[in-house]
Structures are given as C-alpha cells and as structure tokens.
Amino acid sequence: MKKLQMVDLKSQYQHIKEQINAGIQEVLDTTAYINGPQVHEFQKSLENYLGAKHVIPCANGTDALQIAMMGLGLKAGDEVITADFTFAATVEVVALLGITPVLVDVDEDNMNISIEAIKKAITPKTKAIVPVHLFGRAANMDAIMEIAKEHNLFVIEDNAQAIGANYTWKDGSKQKVGTIGHVGATSFFPSKNLGCYGDGGAIFTNDDALAHVIRGIVNHGMYERYHHDVVGVNSRLDSIQAVVLNAKLPHLDTYGQARRKAAKAYNDAFAANEHIVTPAFDFEGDDHVFHQYVMRITNGKRDALLTYLQENGIPCAIYYPIPLHVQKAYADARYNDADFAVTNKLCKEVIALPMHTELDDEQIAFITSTILNFVQ
Ligand SMILES: *Cc1c(COP(=O)(O)O)cnc(C)c1O
C-alpha cells in the first residue's frame, strides 16, 4: 500500500511534472520572477473558470481577506460578522484592521455560519458578513445575500477551502462560490484544492470600481507609478507560483471529482455506524469539493480514536480543536459561551481523515476498516 498522508502532493505532481518543470525553467530563463506573463495568464484563466469579472492575484489567502476588507473601506468601529468555527485567518484580519469581529455560531449539519445567529448579531454598526465555505462546502448563500440586502451589508466570501465548488440557488441555477458576494478571497496554499508550491492567493469581484481600488491596494496604493493615493500593501503572486497554478487549474474539476469519490467511499463505509456522523452531500452535484473530509464521533471517543489511528499509521487531524471565541487573541467579554453550543460541540467531535486527489481503494479500505474496528 502507498504510504498514507493527509495530503499527497508528490503523487499529484508526478502527473503534471513535465509541464511544471518546463514552466519554471522558462521563468528562470526569462527572469520575470514577479508579475511575469504567467501571472496574467493565470488571472485570465481563473476569471474564465469562475465566471468572475475580475480576479486580482495576491500573496496569500490571509492577505486576500485583508485587502478585500480594505477595498470595501471597512474601518475601526465597524462590526464584521463571521463564524466561530473556522481557521483563525478570517477573524485575524478583521482584528488587525481595527474592525470589531463578531463571532457567531455555526449549524450542526453543514458546519457553516448559522443564519439565525447572523440575524441576532446584526447591530447598526454591522458592515459586513464573512461566510467561510468550510471544508469545501458552500454556505447558505441564498439566505446570506438576502440578509445582506435587507441590512445593506457587504458579503466577503472566504473561499480559501472551496475553490471550484458551485452554489445551487433556490431556483436550481448554479454559481461558483467566491463570486456571489461583493468580493471573494481565496488561498493557493499548497494543500488547498488549487494549491501552488509556496504561498499565493486571489481576490475575486464582479464590481469594476472595487476591482480598480483593490488593484491599487495590492501595489502600495499606487494607481499611477509613484503616486500613492491610499495606504496599500505589497501583495503579489510570483511567476513560478502562477506556472504551477496554470498547470493545475485545468484539472481542478477532476480533482474535485476524485475528492468526492473518496468522500463517498468513506460515507458508504461508515453509513451503518451509529457513532459516526458523516458529511451528507450530493455525489453527483458539486456543492462540496471536500477540502477536508470531516466527520463526527459522537460517543465521546474522538480523542481516543485519534491516538489509535496515529498508532496504526493513519494520519488524521482535528479541524478545529478550539472555538475562536475562547482563543486568547479573540476572546471578549461580549461573548456568552452558551451562544456557541454547536461550535463547542463540534470542536469535541470532529476528526478529519486523509483527503486528497490520489487516494486509492486499498488505502480507503485500510482507513475505514481500522476506524470501524475501533468505533463500535
Ligand atoms: C487557508 C485559509 C486561509 C488563509 O490562507 P493563507 O493562504 O494560508 O493565508 C483563510 N481562511 C481559511 C478558511 C483558510 O482555510
């Protein structure tokens, strides 16, 4: 059996090695290390793929979120609502900009931001909602866009984990997640669904004026060379990373299918087990691209299972072990722990299994039988 890994980037690289090696060699030969033609090509290809009017590449997903908020003019005193159950980058940039983060609970079934909790958290100071399409599954954008419209709020989609996923609107039509809100932010960190070989990120928007503002912000607030109109940042995607992304983007949908196939095999194997709650999803659809396969162990033995799997050579992880509202950096007297019942519970029950594009049947059979051996 091939060695089990949470993410197998090396096997994936083997399939596209020649193209990537040749592309990187070209960058070395032409020395256009930053903002070379590869970056422009990637920007255009991603705009096409997403059906987004503007893609602005940047240095990483955290920057993408920060720049999106700067572009929208969010400032100290404003409140931004986001999920308690997510990676810290989302709330980190809010706090860094001096904006007040307002963490809210998530839903138990899809682990995404709770619509009821958003409604309760809105105040006259609320300026934006940041839904995170957690683990690769689209948040409830019908409801979120409706609330935003009603209260005149911006929607910034944290799409770091769900690039390629489609959201199915109530009327059945589909739209790529990340392109639904006023602005979307994504990450090309190596282990993300569309990962480069270093850091990378991008901002998406369909708003021409906002795209213009953001293009200046990523480049030191310059709209004309050496004229600094606004305070900006330095956030660029380099050409070598664009080579990798250009090679991988045409495979993104196939990668998503491979992930869904692995997820379905996990779901089928665990279907009859009363202590395992698996992520429900439509195998034929593409609303979930399984950045992570996260299931719940409801008999209180999650931590014991984690140890057992590690002893048996099966990598696994807890995303996320600690709710953001109790993290030292983000705890606040405004929060009442009872308002975060679902997040508190999920943090104790979730476990992520190996998930990547190269999992084979033998590996999945070994992982699932080992788990079923322990969870009875
Ligand atoms: C990875 C991630 C980010 C940050 O992306 P980086 O490229 O690592 O800065 C932000 N939000 C979520 C939900 C993520 O998973």
Tokens 């839904």 locate to 131
Q: Is the distance from the beta carbon of residue 160 to the nearest atom of ligand 1 less than 6 Å?
A: yes
Query: In angstroms, what is the span from residue 61 Cα to ligand 1's centroid?
Result: 5
Question: To which H or E segment does residue 15 belong?
Answer: helix 9-30
Q: Which SS3 state, helix, strand or coil, does residue 4 take?
A: coil
pLDDT band for 368, please (50, 70, 90 cuts): very high
3-state secondary structure at position 312: coil
Ligand 1 pocket, 158 CB below 6 A?
yes
Mean pLDDT of 340-354: 98
Is 157's C-beta closer than 6 angstroms to any atom of ligand 1? no
Separation of CA 190 and ligand 1 centre (Å): 11
Q: DSSP assignment, residue 136?
A: G
Residue 73 has pLDDT above 90, yes or no: yes
Ligand 1 neighbourhood includes 114 CB (under 6 angstroms) = no
Domains along the chain with CATH numbers: 9-250 (3.40.640.10), 252-374 (3.90.1150.10)
Closest CA to 322 of 348, 292, 293, 353: 348
How far apart are the C-alpha atoms of 78 and 75, rounded to whole Å? 6
Q: Whose CA is nearest to atom 7 of ligand 1?
A: 61
The dihedral formed by the CA atoms of 267, 272, 278 and 281, expressed in degrees to the nearest 10:
60
Summarize pLDDT for 302-338 with one digit per residue, the tens.
999 999 999 999 999 999 999 999 999 999 999 999 9
pLDDT(284) > 90 = no
pLDDT tens digits, one per residue of 156-171: 999 999 999 999 999 9
Per-residue tokens: 79: 């409140």
pLDDT digits (tens, 9 = 90+) for 95-120: 999 999 999 999 999 999 999 999 99
Whether 91 is in the pocket of ligand 1, judged by its Cβ within 6 Å, is no
Q: What is the pLDDT of residues 241-273, one digit of tens each?
A: 999 999 999 999 999 999 999 999 999 999 999
Cα(257)–Cα(269) distance, rounded to whole angstroms? 18
Cα torsion at 6, 236, 40, 231 (round to 10°)? 140
Determine the pLDDT at residue 285.
84
Q: Is residue 42 within a helix (H) or strand (E), and if so which, with residue range?
A: helix 37-50
- Amino acid type, 300: G
Joined tokens for residue 270:
């665990």
Q: Where are the beta strands (DSSP E) in 77-161?
A: 79-83, 100-104, 126-130, 154-158
Tokens of 236: 């660029």
> pLDDT at position 57, please?
98
With bands split at pLDDT 50, 70 and 90, how would you rate the model's confidence at 288?
very high
Find the radius of gyration of the CA atoms of the chain: 21
Residue 192 a catalytic site member: yes
> Which letter does DSSP use for residue 132 in this model?
B
Q: Tell me, using a 6 A CB cutoff, whether residue 201 lines ligand 1.
A: yes
Amino acid identity of residue 18, one-letter, is: E
Q: Mean pLDDT, to the nearest integer, of 213-235?
A: 95
Inter-axis angle of helices 61-71 and 208-217, to 10 degrees? Answer: 120
Using DSSP's 3-state secondary structure scheme, residue 69 falls into: helix
Q: What is the residue with the minimal CA distance to atom 14 of ligand 1?
A: 160
Side chain identity, residue 40: H
Mean pLDDT score, 30-43: 96
Assess contact for 254 and 51: CB atoms under 8 A.
Answer: no
- Mean pLDDT, residues 210-227 taken together: 96
* Atom 10 of ligand 1: nearest residue by CA position: 89
Ligand 1 pocket test, candidate residues 7, 63, 87, most atoms within 8 A of CB = 87
Q: Ligand 1 centre from 202 Cα, in Å?
A: 11
Ordered alpha helix ranges (H), the chain: 9-30, 37-50, 61-71, 89-96, 115-121, 141-151, 208-217, 239-248, 252-270, 302-311, 341-349, 361-374
Q: Please tell me the predicted confidence (pLDDT) of residue 105.
A: 98
User: How do residues 168-207 score in pLDDT, each as one tens digit?
Assistant: 999 999 999 999 999 999 999 999 999 999 999 999 999 9
Chain-wide mean pLDDT for the chain?
97
* pLDDT at site 286: 86
pLDDT confidence of residue 283: 85
